[in-house]
Structure 1
């Protein structure tokens, strides 16, 4: 039930009762304004956009505590959003009073304080995600972060540093034993560093020449580590070239299924700084470009597959990307370097799903 009536003081009173029978009223200078408010409220109730007038009286900080408690976030995501909201000066503001101007002022203050554009964008994105939850919870009608202009992140250009197959073989030859296995897994199976650290002997099926990526290991605060699902949930099975199967067989002989393929001396996953230190030494010993990263061996792997004519969807699955567009965005440019990967080579270097088994490489 709703109505518009003129008050003795000449103002117009619009009122309605909600589903609980509670009356809500506002006063306006004109009848048209009062009627428009009622019509908009009625439309919101019919379309599911209705928000109770008192719903947004909870502060941002209090709402975030409730919102965060029910999110299925990775620990690193939780820490990042916690930090973003902790630095936000709007925590004591009620949700219903938050405006786009408030968010714009915060973004401007961060930029003026010298924070990187990427940091400003990440923190505002965290607030936007929280307030999107408030919209879904019917606490506010619209997200005040919508339409906020943020500083641009300058495009970072990095010349691709792609090793040749001969470079990779030299690296493996001069590397410490555990690093040699890590190099082979990155260059010939496309594993990320976290996936290499998370690979266990039980993930290998060397009789079939396959490995399954089931987890990654990441560093945590205080120097610890945690095992989580692979990035983007990209659990996948990869068929291995024969030479990599042989290397893994030698490296894991007589070891238990729960042992780390590339483990530390204390029985834990190898520490990334240990690999980094030995990687630098191996590059120097092999006489390679100092800017070459271990992660660039994924570029090597991807460029090799693309140059051999493997379709983008299968390369996406091999690399564990969430979308094929990501594979094109990140690795499409390496086709400009096909000379590094299409020279005559030992057939044993070619993964089985590329040469002779076009259907069996990925599962």
Structure 2
């Protein structure tokens, strides 16, 4: 929103014979085809200016919200919708990921050229079938449909029966398969490989025991950890800038609102941090303070690089002679599956994982957990028993 420089003038007002002094801030808002005056008042110059800026901010958000439906094409509508979600507090990485989906899987297809209010249930079915015919992966289809679903749920929030996505069962979280997670025996070999290789490999053990997302564990600081209460606060992650480059997010900007959380550590996980803390203290000659727990070799002021962590994990798998193709995120899946065998702790595990609802954890992991329901693992500290 464009507006002229703010003018602040002193005013007086007489009410019941008593004179009051106040300040008025004014500016002219310039739109594409018209302009109008806006003002705000207060007891001081600053409060008057703040009142005006608050009005301008509310008006700008109102304009952003109205654009998605007024846009001529679905692609443009989703573009404005994503910008609105970003202004409402979405993480930059979530915004960038959805923008790439819009640009690659919606804008270049006929559905992206339709008016948003003209898109029908059959249009979406035909669009998804078109993506399948081009041999796109299920993950890509899920992302494309999830974006459409997110947008249309917003547009038709007051009339869901007109929502073209209503009643469709596509795009929900896929069930995890057994070959995507580590078995108890493989976990034991991975832990022994970490001990053998040393260095930053203890991050692999910690990530498994806390089943954090790779970006969350990579950007942990010693100030996030409480030695006394044996807890660690997940407060940041790796995100992406406009060019797709990995950067550390701002404080409190995790993947979702429920991703900002405090995790209770097992004795084994807490002891691991104590050991690393003491090692860093000895190296620096002073307390680590708020430095990153796992850092880059060339720059100890920066957290371990995401790609470095991936290569480190692949090296550990090689030494552990694990032949499965387990991704770095698969380490999180393995941790949740391992500890989720104790169904009494399932709700706690779901909260620690940062899922907004236990049903999400159940939908993704129940298939694998049921196949291993006879496994003898009762709590996090029982990890020692598999060695």
- TM class by shorter chain equals 0.5 to 0.7
| 3-state SS of 2:290 partner | coil
Residue in structure 1 matched with residue 269 of structure 2 by the alignment = 244
- TM-score normalised by structure 2 residue count: 0.61
Contact 1:174/1:286, CA 8 A, preserved across alignment: no
Contact 2:219/2:248, CA 8 A, preserved across alignment: no
Residue in structure 1 matched with residue 313 of structure 2 by the alignment = 279
Q: Distance in 1 between matches of 2:259 and 2:319?
A: 34
Aligned: 1:224 with 2:246: yes
Deviation at 1:201, TM superposition (A): 1.0
**Shift in alpha-carbon separation, 1:100–1:321, aligned structure 2, 3 A:** closer
Residue in structure 2 matched with residue 320 of structure 1 by the alignment = 354
Contact 1:198/1:269, CA 8 A, preserved across alignment: yes
Contact 1:183/1:294, CA 8 A, preserved across alignment: no
Deviation at 1:324, TM superposition (A): 1.6
**Shift in alpha-carbon separation, 1:292–1:135, aligned structure 2, 3 A:** closer
Deviation at 1:316, TM superposition (A): 1.6
Consecutive unaligned residues in structure 2, runs of 5 or more? 1-67
Q: As a proportion of its length, which structure holds more helix? A: 2
| 3-state SS of 1:87 partner | coil
Residue in structure 1 matched with residue 369 of structure 2 by the alignment = 334
Once the two structures are overlaid, the 10-residue window that deviates more, 111-120 or 148-157, is: 148-157
| 3-state SS of 1:237 partner | strand
Rg (Cα) greater in structure: 1
Q: Distance in 2 between matches of 1:289 and 1:305?
A: 22
**Shift in alpha-carbon separation, 1:329–1:135, aligned structure 2, 3 A:** closer
**Shift in alpha-carbon separation, 1:114–1:202, aligned structure 2, 3 A:** same
**Shift in alpha-carbon separation, 1:137–1:91, aligned structure 2, 3 A:** farther
- TM-score normalised by structure 1 residue count: 0.64
Aligned: 1:258 with 2:279: no
The two structures, once aligned, show a CA RMSD in angstroms of: 4.0
Deviation at 1:295, TM superposition (A): 4.4
Deviation at 1:298, TM superposition (A): 3.9
User: What does the per-residue CA deviation read over 1:310-337, in whole Å, with 9 as the maximum and x for residues that have no partner?
Assistant: 4321222232222222333334433644
Aligned ranges for residues 86-165 of structure 1 at < 5 Å?
86-135=107-156, 142-146=162-166, 157-159=177-179, 160-164=181-185
| 3-state SS of 2:355 partner | coil
Tell me the matched-pair count. Answer: 293
